[in-house]
Amino acid sequence: MNSSPSIRHDAGISEYVVAHKAFRVPDYPDLVPIQVGAGEDLGFLRDNTGDNISERNPSWCELTALYWIWKNDRHSRIIGINHYRRYFEDLQDPARIEELLKKYDLIVAAPEPLKETVWEQYVQTSGYEKDLRNLRAILKTLHPEDVAAFDKVMSSGSLHLYNMVIMPASLYRSYCAWLFPLLFKLEEQTDISQYPAYEKRIYGFLAERLLNVWIEARGLHAASRPVLQLEQSEKEKRHMPIRRLRNRVQYALTRSWRRKEFRKHYE
């Protein structure tokens, strides 16, 4: 077992920053860098200590950090997930986080509008339809009461992305206790050995969708905050508002048809 730096608990807020390579840690209070997967020790907290699934990182992405936090952080009162290149844009002040969590159950990334349904977008850009079908079947077995929320999210036209959250530690543990058994069960049924490298990141991609399902199923009141994308080019920043508007319009114009097509999967 490797040694690693200790978790900071001074303010009761731990905003973890998931990284697989060296980066400059922003000078914000309460940030806790956590290194995922194999590789040279960067001097951060690591997800290969304690109770961990670090070896799964190539296909589970930042989820190996989420799992480590779930199993090993027993002191933080509030837990947040950022990335080395993505941060909640206006939440550098711990007092602001506290203020929002008095009004909301949790904080998530602002919803990203899609031009198609969440189901279609996954199949077109991230993975395979058979895995979505299998995931739904597993959810129906383990949490049948959540299938309606799954269908609602998958037929919708927007997503809270990046597996980025800030929430009370007790709620975070409840989320992980729901999420990981679903994905472990799917992993048992799924052979990804022939998947292309990008599609092998299946579990991280599916978790992005499942976070939305969990919020919907439990009727949670989420505060949506913009995400600061440090590696986004100036051109991408300029085009993003236009792309988002175009996606909203396209989905709105085809919403009824797309939802009807989605229902055919299960009729």
Distances (CA, A) of 145 to 33, 150, 169: 36, 10, 24
On the question of pLDDT at 206 being above 50, the answer is: yes
HSE, CB side, 13 Å, CA atoms: give it for residue 157. 20
HEC secondary structure over 202-217: HHHHHHHHHHHHHHHH
H-run or E-run covering 188: helix 169-189
Confidence bin at 6 (pLDDT 50/70/90)? low
As beta bridge partners, residue 13 has: 78
Q: Which residue has the tokens 């990284």?
A: 19
pLDDT digits (tens, 9 = 90+) for 216-256: 999 999 999 999 999 889 999 899 999 999 999 999 999 89
The DSSP-derived string for 93-129 is: SHHHHHHHHHH-SEEEEPPEE-SS-HHHHHHHHT--H
Confidence bin at 259 (pLDDT 50/70/90)? confident
Q: Is 114 left (phi over 0), alpha (psi -120 to 50) or beta?
A: beta
On the question of pLDDT at 3 being above 80, the answer is: no
**Average pLDDT score over the chain:** 94
What is residue 267's predicted lDDT score, i.e. its pLDDT?
61
What is residue 5's predicted lDDT score, i.e. its pLDDT?
53
pLDDT digits (tens, 9 = 90+) for 135-169: 999 999 999 999 999 999 999 999 999 999 999 99
**E-assigned strands of 212-264?**
222-225, 227-229
Query: What is d(CA 207, CA 212) in angstroms, rounded to the nearest whole number?
Result: 9
Confidence bin at 262 (pLDDT 50/70/90)? confident
